[in-house]
Structure 1
Amino acid sequence: MSTPSIPPTVQLGVIVLLCFLFMWTYQSCSQPKILLSPISLATMVPTSTDCQQSLLESDGFLCEPNATWIERKNVYFNQDEENMMKYGDPIFFISIWEPNFHCTHSRRIGKMGDGGKWVCDPYRLESRDDCLVYSVGSNGDFSFEVDMKKFMPHCEIHTFDKNNFTCPNKTCTFHTVMFGDGIQPNGSKSWMTIIKSLNHTNRYIDILKIDIEGGEYSFFPLVFNSSKSLFPRQILIELHPTNVTRVHSFFELLRNNNYVIFSKENNLYAGPFFFEYAFLKLNPRFFVRSTRNQTNK
């Protein structure tokens, strides 16, 4: 029994159809996908009901799922124990005081290399209508301020230096002043004196970027003797080599005032003993071990 032949016109039609399907599939796969509407990070955070613990323990700054936050606490407690052992090393900072906290969307603000700083989740400042930034010891380098203003135009930025410089237009307000203990005759002004003179006593300082050439060790004890409401949320600082005891005392001071370390990098431009650190202030509740934290040690 012979197989019936397919008419030539039908064969041609099938071939044309297959060619069309092939071309359509190729074009669909090769064309780049276009996002019709960009999604900002602010819309990607969990709802407040999903992140009650992180909101409470970060004083409203971070909103993360509870499971993620608990794991962040585990990381903190494990690394904090290592940090407190204070290992010795010929090059100071190499094996001590490592970061014990991580910000999901940290961003480098300012230029590459010396002058730029890592900031914890700066996009979260979008919701801060009265965002306030202090930059101390600029030495005429305004790259941080310029970049910060581009990223967060609504933030109010004040720059301080003992020498006189001029801020770039519409970027910051410059103040010729030396931060210190405010005791004559060194001509410095204390933390409280500066804040009062700027009428910022009822404001929250979101970021303090500071590089005062070793003066940090005598300056910060004065900061933490002021009202807790004036403690900066983030401290971005270059630490300079000095007596080992003073350095450990500095870190313990910040630790005792509820700061975690979220960034550490060597400033090779200045030398092997100079390190950039970034701290984030959290609520005291963060530092209380839960049963799960103890179990996961």
Structure 2
Amino acid sequence: MSLRMAKSPLSLGQRHPRYTIAFLALFLCAYWYFSTAPLPPRPVLYKHNDELKTRLDREERKYRHMLSQRQELITKYGPTPAQVTMFPPDQEPWPPYTVWDFFPPIFNCPHELDRVGALGDGGKWMCGVSRLEGKPDCVIYSFGMDSSYSFEATLLQSTQFCQVWIYDSTKGEDAKSQIPRSLRHRAHFGKLALGASDKRGPGDNPKTWTLKSLMAENGHSHIDFIRIDNEGWEWETFRSIIRDFTVERSAPPQAANADADTPGASGWHVREREGVLPFGQLQIELHVWNQRFQDVLEWWEMLEASGLRPFHNEINLVYANYNRHSGVELAEYSFLNIRGDNAFIKDYTPDRPEGERGPQVAPDV
């Protein structure tokens, strides 16, 4: 009797080797994907900066001291604001100044200072971008785009939660292509102009909104960072913003018998203002076309009296190069709002996104 070796049953892998290889490949890909997928962003819980208040107080004392130096410069070349020339001619006695020398950005940023966006035209100077990196309720407004979106795109890439509202009088939703696809869900576009009054009727083109009306429409009570390029309309537009959100103090800036060109106890020719402007930081391009020095001074002091302090400026040399017959009439200024509880002047613990757990540590007061 012949004996036969019993055959062992074939395994699934032996019967269908191609399917087995495909299954293993799929399993390994799935494992790799889920094990390396980025975790959802978490807000930054800031550590206390015990030096922040000390730094701000020091810069304010230094800034107040500068006001007397500004008045000395006005007296030297005026002697009143109405007699100061914006851009003195190239002739004796050759006064060594331009209008920008009266408004130096000497208030140091108490955090890191970064130029955000492209080199050349388009990039903007910001103070403390790190304060917005993990802020869940971060709101940014940007007005007047021209052709560059590098600042807005870079700011979106540098933060986890910031929502950016981008407005221009000539561009709308079609401008979305300028923002990387992965960031567009945090970018919002509108075709409108920022102005001193609301003009949104059927015949108004472009539609004009005040900042107060636009914030109400969007449901915002505070803006972390606002950028404005109004092509010369910034003077009346910002007067409207200041009137909408602040009021003059009742005490006059100088004694009743003092000359109108003499600054009062505050160091300004205008009354100090009460209230808090609705943003933490401002970046604005100033166009002094056909402006008089006394009007620029009054406008600037109104910003100072409302709590804004310039920490950086950048003269627009591209414009000066294209228009060599004129002066350096355009300049970008960055301001910090030293009033209120904005993220740049106060330590804070942001709310965790929905679903997060764990204790939060409130900052010391």
Fold match by TM threshold 0.5:
yes
Tell me what 1:154 maps to: 161
Q: Distance in 2 between matches of 1:258 and 1:229?
A: 8
Indicate whether 1:190 and 2:197 are aligned.
Answer: no
Normalised to the residue count of structure 1, the TM-score between the two structures is: 0.69
CA contact (8 A) 1:136 1:161 kept: yes
Residue 122 of structure 2 corresponds to 115
What are the Cα deviations for residues 36-62 of structure 1, in whole angstroms up to 9, with x where unaligned?
A: xxxxxx8996x36x34xxxxxxxxxxx
Q: Deviations over 1:129-156 (max 9, x none)?
A: 2011101001231111011011113111
Q: Report the Cα distance in structure 2 between the residues aligned to 1:133 and 1:86, rounded to whole angstroms.
A: 37
Residue 311 of structure 2 aligns to a residue whose secondary structure is strand
- CA gap of 1:268–1:229, structure 2 versus 1, over 3 A, is same
Look up the match of 2:238. Answer: 220
The whole-number CA distance in structure 2 between the counterparts of 1:153 and 1:85 is 47
Shift of 1:71: 3.1
Q: Distance in 2 between matches of 1:195 and 1:249?
A: 26
CA 1:70 to 1:134, structure 2 compared with 1: closer, same or farther past 3 Å?
closer
Task: Kindly indicate whether residue 175 of structure 2 is the aligned counterpart of residue 166 of structure 1.
Answer: yes
Contact 1:205 1:230 in 2 (8 A): no
- The whole-number CA distance in structure 1 between the counterparts of 2:211 and 2:234 is 12
Counterpart residue identity of residue 223, structure 1: I
What is the TM-score when the length of structure 2 is the normalising length? 0.57
Rounded Cα–Cα distance in structure 2 between residues aligned with 1:216 and 1:275 = 12
Deviations 1:154-181 (A, max 9, x none): 1110100000241223242110001112
- Letter in structure 1 aligned against 2:198: G
Give the SS at the match of 1:112.
coil
Residue 69 of structure 1: how far off its partner (Å): 4.3
The corresponding residue for 2:316 is 267
SS in 2 for 1:95: helix
Distance 1:84 1:196 in 2: 39
Match of 1:239? 286
Number of equivalences: 226
Distance 1:264 1:93, change over 3 A: farther
Shift in CA distance, 158/43, structure 1 to aligned 2, threshold 3 Å = closer
Question: Alignment partner of 2:285: what SS?
Answer: strand
CA distance in 1 between partners of 2:229 and 2:104 (Å): 20
8 Å Cα contact 2:133/2:158 also seen in 1: no
Secondary structure of the equivalent of 1:73? helix
- Does the 8 A contact of 1:83 with 1:98 survive in 2? no
Contact 1:223–1:231 (CA<8 Å) still a contact in 2? no
SS of the residue corresponding to residue 182 of structure 1 reads coil
Checking the alignment, whether the CA contact within 8 Å between 1:132 and 1:207 is kept in structure 2 is yes
Cα-Cα RMSD: 2.5
Specify the SS of the correspondent of 1:157. Answer: strand
Q: Gaps (5+ residues) in structure 2? A: 1-43, 75-83, 89-96, 246-274, 321-327, 341-365
Structure with higher Rg: it is 2
Q: 2:333 aligns with which of 270, 273, 277?
A: 277
SS at match of 1:261: strand
Distance 1:81 1:267 in 2: 27
Task: Look up the match of 2:103.
Answer: 97
Q: Which residue of 2 aligns with 1:78?
A: 65
Q: How far apart are residue 221 of structure 1 and its match? A: 1.2
CA distance in 1, matches of 2:57, 2:211: 35
Paired with 1:137 and 1:79, the residues of 2 have a C-alpha distance of 32
Q: Which amino acid aligns with 1:262?
A: F
Q: Secondary structure at the match of 1:262?
A: strand
Over 3 Å counting, the alpha-carbon distance change for 1:130 and 1:163 in structure 2 is same
Correspondence for 2:304: 255
Q: CA deviation at 1:246?
A: 2.7
Could you tell me the percent identity over the aligned residues? 25
CA 1:97–1:145: 2 relative to 1, 3 Å: same
Deviation at 1:81, TM superposition (A): 2.6
